[in-house]
Structure 1
Amino acid sequence: MKVLKYVVRSPFKDFLPEPGDFELRNEIYPPKLKNGEFLVKAEYISTDPYMRSFANKRIAPYEQFGFQVGKVIESTNPEYPITMTVVSHSGWRDYVVLNGEPDPIFGIKPYDPQIGELPMSLALGALGMPGMTAYLGLLNICQPTAGEVVGVSSAAGAVGSLVGQIAKIQGCKVIGFAGSDEKVRMLIEELGFDHAFNYKTVKNVKEAIFSVSNGIDCYFDNVGGDLSVAVMDCMNDYGRVAVCGSTSSYGNPALLKMPEIPFSVKVEGFSFTQWSWQEQKAAVQQIKEWIENGSIKVKESITNGFEELPNAFIAMLRGDRVGKVIVKI
């Protein structure tokens, strides 16, 4: 059986990869599965910022890693029957043979997302790793309470757009930062953020924050860099900062900056994998309920075609897409 997969053929020189950094290759799978194996046909493949961050630690050439969701089409494993929907960290390939063992990067076993009647694509976004990250990071690290002010960077992205909406459900005032006027409009008019600013055009981030609040109690940081320096300079005493990512410095660690903050402010980096599988599933189940009752709106940018994966990845990093960026195979 011929399988298509993407290999990163050369190291990314700058923040943005180039299409030529990726090579489409064929791989031949044996005609028969071993005992305990099952074959999954990918239907959607994910692009995420961590792929750029983790690339700095890998030596090219290597197979492009990432999450995908698909259907089991052949199986010798009773735990993964034919037609089961499976999420796995199997990378950019259109078919994958699995045996149910955890992947080496995140240690996650292939699993059934149990999304019910909702679109399968959500298993890679709001009902997948980004949803777990938003829910667990905000509620366990920031622990916002009603009436507090929550700031979110990269607020129009897969994680940030959920963080802001979850904070609103908790009764908080939410301030989002995004990279275009259209994203700012969406955050306020469609997702219910109280305020949002285009960090590329606002003259003074600190003045913008204090024009609509008395400071930030909780900050969910996805970007690091100058924006986060300015936001954290507005932290109130006993504030909490959840450091999810630092996209502004991916590809150039010299750009990573930390501000001076009040001694009482807690700053904590995290990964969704630090919580148990039961906690991760509970987070997804709660987000699912919020989606179904209309409390959360999901934003997705879906591109069609396996060959579009490099372009979709680059567009996501460039900020040209809204919400979760996925490729339909």
Structure 2
Amino acid sequence: MTQTKQQEIHLVNRPTGTPAIEDFKFVECDVPSPKENEVLVRALYISVDPYMRGRMNDTKSYIPPFELNKAIVGGVIAEVAVSRSESFKRGDLVLGNLNWAEYSVAKETKLRKIDPNLAPLTAYLSVLGMTGLTAYFGLLDIGKPQEGETVVVSGAAGAVGSAVGQIAKLKGAKVVGIAGTDEKLAYIKNELGFDETVNYKSENFKEELKAATPDGVDVYFDNVGGDVSDAVMRLLNNHARIPVCGSISSYNAEGQDVGPRVQPTLIKTSSLMKGFTVGNYASEFEQGRNDLANWLQEGKLKYKETIVEGFEKTPEAFLGLFKGINTGKLLVKAAEPEYSKNR
């Protein structure tokens, strides 16, 4: 390769409230050179995810915060440009946790080779990647849906929520999806097979949610927190299970997020409420990927992506998460394959 300079995207401010474009900076730097047992990769698709907002705060969490004035790191599908590893060769397609940069150097142990013949490339960042695995383990290990039970999913048209609803249907449950636009509601009902849908922006949201769950709620997969989750909590059945995956309603809150206290409800209904991250299940990823891939190949699992074109649009795409611009997984297409297409 002849390119010697590249662009990286750095976090330069810790946002207060909703992040702004000014919190990011494009920095020109040298294309790095791999050392022994390392490879240089070129970014093709970049994942933007809600959890990244938490990493912009300098607070203790399950994962360290992003460092200021350094490249942001996230899920990336890339192609190998230069290899100094016996495990990879030029043109291999890989998945890794990499810099928001045109090129990155990674240790061979930090990359996983992917096969575009088994599924489209982008599926490895969505239904066969972190979001699909999050849905799979959170629902099946914590939610444990049973045939005939009612499962409610918030953020139901997102990458995780849309997979949760479909997996719950595979287990024989009735599924109620909550989303914020008529287009998203039509997608999860008509294309994904959700039984009922409710628009959380409706003036009559609470009444409509209750009407959609006449037998109460046995499993609530919580992606959003806030007022939506407060409304669902009032409808829990005895021994309900609540996997807590996300709380996007409060990610940009400037003060303490205060709402109804859930303890009395949990006590009265003997319900289980458990937070988790997909990393808790790392030792079981292979089984999860196999099941998801089988359902995908059998046509039992569908997915949708919102793809923003251009590496330079990455910060804008990230900010779009908090405006609900996406149906399904939100990705940035950074480049067309160059080295793999010539193989």
Q: TM-score, normalised by structure 2?
A: 0.88
Query: Is 2:16 the counterpart of 1:13?
Result: yes
Q: Which residue of 1 aligns with 2:36?
A: 35
Query: Is 2:275 the counterpart of 1:269?
Result: yes
Counterpart of 1:81 (choices 77, 80, 89) is 89
> Structure 1, residues 48-95: CA drift from partner, whole Å, max 9, x if none?
000112212346334222110111121111122332221111131111
Residue ranges of structure 1 left out of the alignment (5+ in a row): 102-108
Query: Is 2:6 the counterpart of 1:3?
Result: yes
Q: Which residue of 2 aligns with 1:97?
A: 105
Check whether the contact 1:177–1:199 (CA below 8 A) recurs between aligned residues. yes
Residue ranges of structure 2 left out of the alignment (5+ in a row): 59-64, 335-343
Check whether the contact 2:198–2:205 (CA below 8 A) recurs between aligned residues. no
SS of the residue 1:111 aligns to: strand
Cα shift at 1:196: 0.7
- How do 1:289-328 and structure 2 match up within 5 A? 289-328=294-333
Cα shift at 1:182: 1.3
Check whether the contact 1:56–1:251 (CA below 8 A) recurs between aligned residues. no
SS of the residue 2:43 aligns to: strand
Structure 1 residues 212 and 269: CA distance shift in structure 2, 3 A: closer
Q: Which residue of 2 aligns with 1:105?
A: none
Q: Which amino acid aligns with 2:184?
A: K
Check whether the contact 2:266–2:272 (CA below 8 A) recurs between aligned residues. no
Structure 1 residues 24 and 214: CA distance shift in structure 2, 3 A: same
Q: What is the total number of aligned residue pairs between the two structures?
A: 319
Cα shift at 1:256: 5.0
SS of the residue 1:254 aligns to: coil
> Structure 1, residues 169-208: CA drift from partner, whole Å, max 9, x if none?
1111000110111111111111110001110114142552
Check whether the contact 1:22–1:310 (CA below 8 A) recurs between aligned residues. yes
Q: Which residue of 2 aligns with 1:233?
A: 234
Q: Which residue of 1 aligns with 2:77?
A: 69
SS of the residue 1:146 aligns to: coil
Check whether the contact 2:222–2:243 (CA below 8 A) recurs between aligned residues. yes
Counting aligned pairs with the same residue, the percent is 38
Q: Which residue of 2 aligns with 1:106?
A: none
After the TM superposition, which of the residue ranges 174-183 and 208-217 deviates more from structure 2?
208-217
CA distance in 1, matches of 2:138, 2:165: 12
After the TM superposition, which of the residue ranges 237-246 and 47-56 deviates more from structure 2?
47-56
Structure 1 residues 221 and 184: CA distance shift in structure 2, 3 A: same
Cα shift at 1:117: 3.6
Structure 1 residues 113 and 145: CA distance shift in structure 2, 3 A: farther
CA distance in 2, matches of 1:216, 1:157: 21
CA distance in 1, matches of 2:213, 2:203: 14
Q: TM-score, normalised by structure 1?
A: 0.92
Q: CA RMSD in A?
A: 1.7
CA distance in 2, matches of 1:173, 1:143: 13
Query: Is 2:198 the counterpart of 1:193?
Result: no
